Structure 1
Amino acid sequence: MSDGATQNFVDKWLAVQPQQRIALGFVDEASRDERVALAALEQELISSAYGIREPQVAAAKLQWWAEELSGAAASGGRHPLTKALFASPRAKQVPSALWIAPVLAAMAQLEQGTSSDFAAQVAASRGLHGALAALENAWWFGVDAPVESAARVATLAHLVFALSRLELDAERERLPLPMSRLARHGLSRGQLKADSPARRDAIRAQLAELAQGLREALSLAEPLSTFRGVEGRTALATAKSASRAAEPFAELHRRQARTGPATAIRAWLAARHAGRFG
C-alpha cells in the first residue's frame, strides 16, 4: 500500500500476525490492497475491544467506530482504513448491518467477566469474532457465503492468542482460562502470573481443547479467506505443539512469532482453499 497512513495500520496488524506477511504473496494483486485494509480494520476493532484497560475509554472508542462505519457508505469515511475500503464498490455490496455488528458485539462484551467453562468462553468470544468473520466472508466471497467455519476459526484462534497474554491479563476481569479450569487445577488468579506445575497443566488442557476445536473448524468445507486460513492453521500448529511441550507457555510464545517454510506451506494451502470459493 502506498498510502502512509493506511500502511501504519497494516503494519500494526502484521506485528500481531507476522505470518501474514508471507500470506500476502498468495493474495491476488488486483484485490490485495482492499483485502489487507479489511484485515487491518479488523485488528483495529480487536485492539479497541481488548487493548484498552478502562471500559469507559474502550466504549468511547467503539462508539466512534460505530458512527464511522454506519456513515461510511454515504460519506466515504474519515479513518484511513475506512476511506480505503469504501473507495471500493465492494464495500456497498456488504450490508450495513455486517459493518456495524462487530462494533456492537465488542461493546456488549466490555463488561464480561471470566467465563464459567470452555464452552461458555467460546460462546462469549464468538460474538465479536464471529461478526468479524461474517464481514470478512461477505467481502471475500459474497453476502451469501457460509460463515460457520470462519466464525469458529476466528474465535478459537483469538483464544489461543489470549492465552499467550495470561500473565499480562491475570488481573483483568476476563481471564484467558475459564473458572472451571482454574478450579480443576487448584489455581487462584494470583497464581497465574508465575510458572507452576498446576499452571502448566491448565494451559496444556486449554490448548488441547482449542486444538481440537480448530481441527474440526478447519475441516469444514466452507470458505475461509487466505488470511483466516493462515491464522487458523497457525493457531492449530501452535496449540498442538504447545499442548505437548514441557513448558507450554514458553512454547506458545515461541510458536506465535515463528515464520518459515511451514508458514509458506500453510499460506499456500489457505490460498488454495480460498480459491475454491471465488
Structure 2
Amino acid sequence: MSDGATQSYVDKWLAVQPQQRIALGFVDVATRDEHVALAAFEQELIASAYGIREPQVAAAKLQWWAEELSGATASGGRHPLTKVLFASARARQVPSGIWLAPVLAAMAQLEQGTPSDFDAQVAAARHMHGALAALENAWWFGADAPAEAATRVATLSHLVFALSRLELDAERERLPLPMSRLARHGLSRAQLKDDSPARRDAVRAQLGDLAKGLRAALALGEPLSTFRGLEGRTALATAHGASRAAEPFAELHRRQSRTGPATAFRAWRAARRAARLG
C-alpha cells in the first residue's frame, strides 16, 4: 500500500504476524490491498480488545469503531482502513451485522476474568474471534461461506499468541492459562512470571490441547483465507513443536518469529486452498 497512514496499520499487523509478509506474495495483486486492509482492521480490533489495560479506554475506542462501521456504507468511512475497505464492492456485499459483530463481541468480553477450564477458555475467546472469522470469510468467499473452521483457527491461534504473553499478562484479570490448569500444576498467579518445572508442564499441556484443536480445525476442509490458513498452520507448528520442547515457553517465542522455507510452503498451501475453495 502506498498510502502512509494505511501502511502504518499494515505494519502493526505484520509486526504481530511476521510470517504474513511471505503470504503477501501469494495473494492476487488485484485484490491484495483490500484483503490486507481487512487483516489490518482485524488487528486494530484485537489490539483494542486486549492491548489497552483500562477497560473504559478500550470500551471508548471500540464504541468509536461501532459508530464508524455503522455509517461507513453511506459515508465511506473516516479511518484510513475503513476508507480502503468501503471503497471496495465487497464491503457492500457483507451484511452490516457481520461488520458490527466483532466490535460488539470485543466490548462484551472486556472485563471477563480467567476461564475455569480449557473448554470454557475456547468458548469465551470464540465470540470475538469467531465474529472476525465470519467477517473475513464473508469478505473473501461471500456472505454464505461456512466459517466453522475459520472460527476455530482464529480462536485457537489467538490462544497460542496469548500464551506467549504469559509473563507480561500474569497480573491481568484474564490469564492465558485457565484456572483448572493452574490448580492441576499447583501454580499461583505470581509464579507465572518465572520459569519452573510446574510452569513448563502447564504450558506444555496447554500447547498440546491447542495443537490438537488446530489440527482438527484445519482438517475440516472449509474455506480459509490465505492469511487465516497460514496463521493456522503456523500456530499448529508452533504449538506442536513447543509442546515437545524441554523449555516450551522459550521455544514458543522462538517459533513465533521464525520464517523461512517452511513458512513459504505453508503460505503456498494456504493460497492454493483459498483459491480452490473460494
What TM bracket, shorter-length normalisation?
over 0.9
Aligned equivalents of 1:94, 1:74: Cα separation in 2: 14
- 1:188 aligned to 2:188? yes
Aligned length: 278
Q: CA deviation at 1:265?
A: 0.3
What do the CA deviations read for 1:142-190 (whole angstroms, capped 9, x no partner)? 0000000000000000000000000000000000000000000000000
1:43 aligns with 43
* Correspondence list, 1:240-255, <5 A: 240-255=240-255
Instruction: List structure 1 segments (4+ residues) > 2 angstroms apart after TM superposition.
Output: none
Aligned equivalents of 2:194, 2:277: Cα separation in 1: 45
Return the TM-score normalized by structure 2.
1.00
- 1:126 aligned to 2:121? no
**Which consecutive residues of structure 1, in runs of 5 or more, have no partner in the other structure?**
none
- 1:229 aligned to 2:237? no
Aligned equivalents of 2:114, 2:207: Cα separation in 1: 17
Q: Percent identity?
A: 85
* AA at the equivalent of 1:208: G
* AA at the equivalent of 2:124: A
What do the CA deviations read for 1:193-228 (whole angstroms, capped 9, x no partner)? 000000000000000000000000000110000000
Aligned equivalents of 1:90, 1:222: Cα separation in 2: 20
* AA at the equivalent of 1:266: R
Q: CA deviation at 1:114?
A: 0.1
Q: Report SS of the residue matched to 1:276.
A: helix
- 1:200 aligned to 2:200? yes
1:261 aligns with 261
2:116 aligns with 116
1:83 aligns with 83
Aligned equivalents of 1:276, 1:132: Cα separation in 2: 22
1:238 aligns with 238
1:19 aligns with 19
1:58 aligns with 58
Q: Report SS of the residue matched to 1:110.
A: coil
Q: Report SS of the residue matched to 2:116.
A: coil
* AA at the equivalent of 1:102: P
1:147 aligns with 147
Aligned equivalents of 1:34, 1:274: Cα separation in 2: 16
Q: CA deviation at 1:89?
A: 1.0
**Which consecutive residues of structure 2, in runs of 5 or more, have no partner in the other structure?**
none
Q: CA RMSD in A?
A: 0.4
Aligned equivalents of 1:44, 1:174: Cα separation in 2: 20
Q: Report SS of the residue matched to 2:31.
A: helix
* AA at the equivalent of 2:108: A
